[in-house]
Amino acid sequence: MALTPEILRPTSSAQATQNRVLRNTYWLLALSLVPTAIGGMVGMTVNFSFMAASPIVSGLVFLAIVYGMFFAIERNKNSATGVVLLLGLTLFLGFALGPILQVALGLRNGGQLIALAAGGTAAVFLGLSALASAAGRDFSGLAKFLMVGVIVAMIGVVANIFLQIPLLHLVLSGVFVVLCSLIILFQINQIVRGGETNYVTATLTLYMSVYNIFVSLLNILMAVTGQRE
Q: What is the pLDDT of residues 137-178, one digit of tens each?
A: 788 889 999 999 999 999 999 999 898 899 999 999 999 999
**How much is the pLDDT for 11?**
63
pLDDT (average), residues 4-12: 50
The 10s digit of each residue's pLDDT in 31-54 is 999 999 999 999 999 988 877 778
Of 4-13, 183-192, 211-220, the poorest mean pLDDT is in 4-13
**How much is the pLDDT for 208?**
97
**How much is the pLDDT for 19?**
87
Of 138-142, 180-184, 209-213, the poorest mean pLDDT is in 138-142
Q: Is pLDDT at 212 greater than 70 in this prediction? A: yes
> Is-contact 89 69, C-beta < 8 A?
yes
**How much is the pLDDT for 31?**
97
**How much is the pLDDT for 3?**
40
For all residues of the chain together, what is the average pLDDT? Answer: 90
Provide the 10 A C-beta neighbour count for residue 156.
17
**How much is the pLDDT for 135?**
58
**How much is the pLDDT for 17?**
81
**How much is the pLDDT for 8?**
45
**How much is the pLDDT for 227?**
75
Residues 6+ positions from 225 with CB-CB distance below 8 Å? 109, 113
> Is-contact 97 152, C-beta < 8 A?
no
The better pLDDT of the pair 135, 148 is held by: 148
Q: Is pLDDT at 86 greater than 90 in this prediction? A: yes
CA distances from residue 206 to 11, 57, 126, 175, 224 in whole angstroms, order as listed: 26, 28, 12, 17, 27
> Is-contact 184 125, C-beta < 8 A?
yes
CA distance 215 to 207: 12
The 10s digit of each residue's pLDDT in 100-129 is 999 999 999 999 999 999 999 999 999 999
Q: Which residue in 125, 138, 110, 142 sits closest to 25, CA to CA?
A: 125
Query: Domain residue spans in the chain?
Result: 17-225
**How much is the pLDDT for 100?**
95
> Is-contact 221 113, C-beta < 8 A?
yes
Phi-psi group of 195: left, alpha or beta (phi > 0 → left; psi -120 to 50 → alpha; rest → beta): alpha
